[in-house]
Structure 1
Amino acid sequence: MNSTVVLQRDGEIALLLIDNPPVNALSRQVREQLLECLHQALGDKTVTALVIASEGNTFVAGADIKEFDLPLQAPHLPDLLAMIENATKPVIAALHGSVFGGGLELALACHYRLAEGNARFALPEVSLGLIPGAGGTQRLPRLCGALAALEMVVGGERIDTARALQIGLIDKVVATELRSSAISWAYEVAQRPPRRVREQPIPAYDAAVFNERAAQLLSKLSGQEAPPLALEALQQASRLPFEAGMAHEREIFIARRQSPQAHALRHVFFAERELAARVRAHARSAPTRSIETVAVIGAGLMGSGIALCLANTGIPTLLVDTQEQALERGRLVVERYYQGSLEKGKLNADEASRRTSLIRYATTLSSVADADLIIEAVFEDLAIKQEVFRQLDQFAKPGAILATNTSYLDVTAIASATSRPGDVIGMHFFSPAQVMRLLEVVRTPQVLPEVLASVLQLGARLGKTAIAVGNCYGFAGNRLLAVREREAGFLLEEGASPQDVDRVIRGFGFPMGPFELRDLSGVDIAWRNRQGRAGHLSEAERRCDLIEQLHAAGRLGQKSGAGYYRYEQGQRRGVADEFVSQMLVEHRRRRGITPRPIGDDEILARCLFVMINEAAHLLEQGIVDSVNDIDLVWLHGYGFPRYKGGLLYYADQVGLATVATALSNWARAFAERGIEVSGMLQRMAEEGRSFTHG
């Protein structure tokens, strides 16, 4: 058995070193060997104090999540931590890097804590559908107070060393020589009695303030089961004796491990980790180009947002717009953003000024000559984009990467306007670009491997979930969005109301429904897309011309105060509008459709099953590399509820036979709509297979 915990001596001090790369997870083997080393050190009369530290770049970033799908295995972490806390010799935790989950609970069980300045602290268990299960809800409020514990336990807040010192989570900060500093301190405290967190009372706090903040946090986490249970366990810390509170916490933790939401969130965790590994593999498989300076063409909201995203990562950026007024509006967006960050305390004045200065402005395309990467973010029109790329082909230096931020258009057609199609790639940011995590990196058959690898690597550098997708209408995300929107339109024809459909989709866990989303992004955008794809629409789609009717009436969505809904001045939530109700009545009458009641279950199935079917088509066509890519695109770009694991994970829970049967029935019932059930989906259903388990 490899040693994952090593016991060393420095005179009278025992040093217990955890070495379980890459993140020193508290696996069963680590727990066993840590227990063995503890027994040895505590039983040695010549040892006066202990230091627990870790090798590598981090302390302990949590448990071994793979073990959560296995039966509980001794030694259990709470028992191990109880042994540490009850030790008669002082135990010091030397902390650096990520001190997360079980790693933070380990630190809390120690009697003293010191940390390097780079350390970060968190109890992120709720993000995995769990609650802390080894004392996090009981020790943290005793050490740091109920309000600080609330933010970390229920809100999943990550804090830095300065904040940890302020709230009393750590005792000292050291600039260098963490391990030797911990050993020196161990000599100082060796003769003191151990300071046990469990024996400390919870500091007095304002219950009204606590309850108000708890309600705010839970309102943002609607639909998730773990946060209210974490709150319940946290509240018991002030109501129950320590041992009873620990037992209550453990009972909830064990029950949560096999809950559907915990399983779904573990799927997401491993999907994100697998994607990161693929991005690293891309970088290893091809040489990457250096991207030190970037130019963004188009100073609208998207272009300005991309510039902010780059500047926030420390990349010098040139924002270009040939229209002086548009450029000034872009400059104002940037300045207001950083001023707002300053006022909210997110940035100090020096940092806000530094980031602001990273963005320069120009009105000529020739100014991009020195850029390593040029991102076009102009109007969503193929002819306009091709003209921009013709000019960029003249001005961009050899080896520069040329990227288009198109949402739907053919990247190959855009690349054809240049003499260097291998250097052209799609970078589909999601709005607002400085906030949204998803980045679809659209590869064409001509793109060079090093260009793809370089852009994927940049996406990771920007903190994005960067997913490589093939070139097709709408790529992965918007192609699925289009079929959901089409089906939602058919539901309106058949008798549903916009508010019915939106309520059901929100109830599933999306932040907004299809028609609320359409009003937000603009009816005119949908109208323009339909005009561009008129030749590709089925007859049934052309007859379902609700978008054209709204556009003709000047109802463009929130921007005009009316779309599928009516918007009062200053309100972002729309209200049902008689105009739309009457429009639907007249539309059905002209089409000869007798409206019928449509239940919530049918609305949900119709909207989601067509997306699952289209996702299967994407996999068949090689547009995406992995089932996980579909799930991550919709989790990070479209608000699919994370606690349901993603679209195709959800399909597996429903059952592919159920999905395929429903689609086949609809294909027969609505033959004129041309529903083509994926052959892959049908085969998998017949063979009893699933997307996420093969």
Structure 2
Amino acid sequence: MNIARLKGRKTLLMNDFQYLTVRPDSEQRIWVDIQMMEGTPGTLEPDTLSELKHYLTSIQQQSVAGLVLRFATHKETDSTSTVKTADYSVFQNIEYNLSLIQQTQEIADLLQSSPIYSVFIIDRQCPVGGMALALATDYCISSFSLVAESCFPENALGLHPFQSVIRQTIKRVGAFDALMTITASQTGVSLPADILFDKGFIDEAVPANKLYETTLITLHKKPGKKKALRIKPPFANKLRRTYTSSQLSRQLVKRLHIAEAHHPAPYALLELWKQYGSKANTTSQIAFAESLAKLAGTKYAGNLQRIAQLKYQLSRRPDEPQRLKHLHIIGSGETTCKIASYCLLQGIHVSLQDKRPDALEQAISVISNKIVTLTGKDTEKLGELLSHVTPDLKGEHIKTADMILLIGATHLADQQEKFAELEEYSRPDAILATHSSIIPLEKIAAAMLNPERLLGIHFCYPACSTPLVEVSHTDKTDKQLLDRACNIIKHLNKIPLLLNNLPALLADRILVQYILQGIHLHQQGVPHNILDAAARDTGMPLGPLELGDIMGLDYCLRVAETMEKSFNIDVPFQLVTMVQTGKLGKKSGSGFYRYRNNNRLKSARLEWNGSIEALQSKLTAQITEEAAVCLEDGLLEDPGLIDAGIVLGTGFAPWTGGPLRYHRGY
């Protein structure tokens, strides 16, 4: 495109830009892609912000019907600049930080005062500092698949958001909610887009395939700007901010298990807010720049940045995208419902196969409830999403699916029979995958005429919020098919990890060993509440016993028995006894804890006089030792990818840099 005229005014041509792609349309609207340096997260260069500010200033007096902004990578734009990968070491430079802070604030002020109606589309993880621009527009639309960590990417690097981001979020939702949400997300607490919408951080959350359509509707209707919440007078008072900051600090420790020694960034942010409030002056901007530089040089930030770089290595998308249009799932259990719900929110058509009509009916009900949980009680939106899920009693949709995923068949003979049938009736180019992490692929493939079509695709638990998807293969698996599967997973906003086919793969192997160690310690007299609290204080999202209850103790036993045959591990007798007596965890109402209506009941808080540090050391050592064994066994050859896989697939504390780095004294 080389036409760029808007109603009698001349504007810069698209190819006049180095860091922006500007596309005027026939309705006098302007669509602008802002190039970010590639990474997970990406970053914005000062030159990019300078060019954006110059362009926005140049169109203020022109007749523009609407302005749409979004972030994009170099290959998605027509940029003339050189492809660059994010270099996080630059944040150790105070002057660099100050330049970014001041520029993002100036652009945010320009957008807020502009007569041009503006919309920001968040369809990917924002670059560092980018949320300040998104929140300054009239209307901010996000994909459902994005979560708070994506909107506040500074957290993934061991930093805190820029002052301009803090100012914009406080204007939208008030100081307490803004700071609590941002600090919580700094430890990976998963806050979906709909929660950010409910709280007022963003204006609308929609499925990824509805972003463009929703943007057009928004530009037509031009919803009024949300009135910024007035900062209550008490927060203008430093004494009041000091009190509130102390409250928030206590919440970080008590509710989120965030220790300052492990997570200095949220505490540094609260200290800055206590000192300066929402004031944007040179003194406060310098203080933010200095704080960022100090944090960027810590070992804590270095470990987080290592994980971020490994994550980018795994999630980097190909030039030619592979998109999934139709997923056929065989099974109707809890895992099926979670994966189906997630895929529906990505705009994918899902068909569910089960011979039992009542099971399919129950699955649709569970999916409906999960979507309501993820998107809110919008009946129109719910109806639209549910129109893309189809129950299938006879497997009639096998012949049209792009990918077929078998979930829940726990016996080898069942898997062999089903895949022999699938290769006969499916499309020749369809991906055939098992979700099982414990049945050897080679044995399943032995019953197939075309064993090269089989691979393993395992969504790590819990499927909706855990970013990692494990992809396993045999020596016969078609390489192009494997690449296509990984690319599809990337476009689901998940991260594929290619593994050699060993029992339990990586995430289940680590988590079940962690759970087994917890049960062994419980057998030795450590109370469940003490054990789980000690584990959470090391940075794990859940303690081993509560995790076992949620995953299902029968599933844990199946994985443990598979590992026992291959790795000679010791299965605790307590686990066997509990499963035999029907104590399966949350789904049966009783496990290590008791449950009613899917909620855990309060249990007696037992005392214990042993060493918490020794307890934590044993739990952590179990994970680090198993990670080393995975490396020795050849599950992966790269120790960095084992670290990344365990952090992304199990929730192991990212500030450690991963269990192998932690074992070396991070």
TM-score by length of 2: 0.70
Please say if 1:280 is aligned against 2:302: no
CA distance in 1, matches of 2:545, 2:173: 45
Evaluate the alpha carbon distance shift between residue 408 and residue 12 of structure 1 in structure 2; reply closer, same or farther with a 3 A threshold. Answer: closer
Residue 487 (structure 2) aligns with: 457
Question: Aligned-pair distance for 1:428?
Answer: 0.9
Aligned match for 1:623, one of 635, 639, 643: 635
Evaluate the alpha carbon distance shift between residue 611 and residue 600 of structure 1 in structure 2; reply closer, same or farther with a 3 A threshold. Answer: same
Question: Aligned-pair distance for 1:442?
Answer: 1.3
Residue 30 (structure 2) aligns with: none
Amino acid at match of 2:504: G
Residue 362 (structure 2) aligns with: 329
SS state at 2:390 partner: strand
Question: Aligned-pair distance for 1:320?
Answer: 0.5
Residue 307 (structure 1) aligns with: 340
Residue 444 (structure 1) aligns with: 474
Amino acid at match of 2:641: D
Cα deviation 1:175-199 (Å, max 9, x = unaligned):
79x9xxxxxxxxxxxxxxxxxxxxx
Question: 8 Å contact 2:593–2:600 — kept in the other structure?
Answer: no
Amino acid at match of 1:357: S
Please say if 1:102 is aligned against 2:137: no
Residue 634 (structure 1) aligns with: 646
CA distance in 2, matches of 1:425, 1:82: 46
Question: Aligned-pair distance for 1:204?
Answer: 3.7
Question: Aligned-pair distance for 1:327?
Answer: 1.7
CA distance in 2, matches of 1:492, 1:174: 54
SS state at 2:471 partner: strand
Residue 421 (structure 2) aligns with: 391
Residue 24 (structure 2) aligns with: none
Residue 578 (structure 2) aligns with: 550
Residue 481 (structure 1) aligns with: 511
CA distance in 2, matches of 1:418, 1:23: 46
Cα deviation 1:106-137 (Å, max 9, x = unaligned):
899xxx97899899995532343222345544
Within 5 Å, give how 1:197-276 maps onto structure 2. Answer: 203-204=231-232, 218=252, 221-223=256-258, 224-238=263-277, 242-276=281-315
Residue 67 (structure 1) aligns with: 89
CA distance in 2, matches of 1:313, 1:560: 32
Within 5 Å, give how 1:466-615 maps onto structure 2. Answer: 466-492=496-522, 496-530=526-560, 535-536=565-566, 538=568, 541=570, 544-567=572-595, 571-572=599-600, 575=603, 599-615=611-627
Question: Aligned-pair distance for 1:376?
Answer: 0.5
Question: 8 Å contact 2:156–2:305 — kept in the other structure?
Answer: no
CA distance in 2, matches of 1:100, 1:37: 15
Residue 368 (structure 1) aligns with: 398
Evaluate the alpha carbon distance shift between residue 67 and residue 552 of structure 1 in structure 2; reply closer, same or farther with a 3 A threshold. Answer: closer
Amino acid at match of 1:408: I
CA distance in 2, matches of 1:28, 1:298: 42
Within 5 Å, give how 1:383-422 maps onto structure 2. Answer: 383-422=413-452
CA distance in 2, matches of 1:321, 1:143: 46
Question: Aligned-pair distance for 1:295?
Answer: 1.3
Evaluate the alpha carbon distance shift between residue 241 and residue 477 of structure 1 in structure 2; reply closer, same or farther with a 3 A threshold. Answer: closer
Give structure 2 stretches of 5+ with no counterpart: 1-8, 21-33, 186-190, 205-213, 220-227
Residue 23 (structure 1) aligns with: 36
Within 5 Å, give how 1:6-155 maps onto structure 2. Answer: 19=19, 23=36, 31=46, 57=72, 64-68=86-90, 70-72=92-94, 76-77=98-99, 81=103, 100-103=127-130, 122-133=151-162, 135-137=164-166, 141=170, 146=175, 150=179, 153-154=182-183
CA distance in 1, matches of 2:400, 2:304: 44
Evaluate the alpha carbon distance shift between residue 114 and residue 415 of structure 1 in structure 2; reply closer, same or farther with a 3 A threshold. Answer: same
SS state at 2:635 partner: coil
Amino acid at match of 1:102: G
Q: What is the percentage of aligned positions where both structures have the same residue?
A: 21
CA distance in 2, matches of 1:368, 1:276: 29
Amino acid at match of 1:256: L
Question: 8 Å contact 2:471–2:486 — kept in the other structure?
Answer: yes
Amino acid at match of 1:19: Y
Residue 328 (structure 2) aligns with: 295
Evaluate the alpha carbon distance shift between residue 601 and residue 217 of structure 1 in structure 2; reply closer, same or farther with a 3 A threshold. Answer: closer
SS state at 1:440 partner: strand
Question: 8 Å contact 1:31–1:80 — kept in the other structure?
Answer: no
Cα deviation 1:535-593 (Å, max 9, x = unaligned):
5574x826x42222333444333334433345577642663699xx9xxxxxxxxxxxx
Question: Aligned-pair distance for 1:30?
Answer: 5.0
Question: 8 Å contact 1:378–1:385 — kept in the other structure?
Answer: no
Question: Aligned-pair distance for 1:522?
Answer: 2.5
Aligned pair count reads 580
Amino acid at match of 1:547: L
Amino acid at match of 1:261: Y
Residue 584 (structure 1) aligns with: none
CA distance in 1, matches of 2:387, 2:325: 15
Amino acid at match of 2:398: V
SS state at 1:541 partner: coil
Question: 8 Å contact 1:408–1:473 — kept in the other structure?
Answer: yes
CA distance in 2, matches of 1:306, 1:36: 42
Question: Aligned-pair distance for 1:449?
Answer: 0.8
CA distance in 1, matches of 2:489, 2:463: 12
CA distance in 2, matches of 1:602, 1:31: 48
Cα deviation 1:300-331 (Å, max 9, x = unaligned):
11222222222222222210001222122112
Evaluate the alpha carbon distance shift between residue 460 and residue 18 of structure 1 in structure 2; reply closer, same or farther with a 3 A threshold. Answer: same
Evaluate the alpha carbon distance shift between residue 205 and residue 628 of structure 1 in structure 2; reply closer, same or farther with a 3 A threshold. Answer: farther
SS state at 2:422 partner: helix
Amino acid at match of 2:291: I
* Residue range with higher mean Cα deviation, 220-229 or 564-573: 564-573
Question: 8 Å contact 2:332–2:352 — kept in the other structure?
Answer: yes
CA distance in 2, matches of 1:33, 1:396: 48
Pair member with larger Rg: 1
Within 5 Å, give how 1:169-180 maps onto structure 2. Answer: none
SS state at 1:280 partner: coil
Give structure 1 stretches of 5+ with no counterpart: 1-9, 168-172, 179-199, 582-595, 655-694
Question: Aligned-pair distance for 1:275?
Answer: 0.9
Residue 208 (structure 2) aligns with: none
SS state at 2:401 partner: coil
Question: Aligned-pair distance for 1:67?
Answer: 2.6
Question: 8 Å contact 1:123–1:152 — kept in the other structure?
Answer: no
Evaluate the alpha carbon distance shift between residue 130 and residue 354 of structure 1 in structure 2; reply closer, same or farther with a 3 A threshold. Answer: same
Evaluate the alpha carbon distance shift between residue 67 and residue 575 of structure 1 in structure 2; reply closer, same or farther with a 3 A threshold. Answer: same
Amino acid at match of 2:89: E
CA distance in 1, matches of 2:491, 2:11: 45
Evaluate the alpha carbon distance shift between residue 74 and residue 512 of structure 1 in structure 2; reply closer, same or farther with a 3 A threshold. Answer: closer
CA distance in 2, matches of 1:129, 1:232: 16
Cα deviation 1:127-155 (Å, max 9, x = unaligned):
43222345544576469864685477546
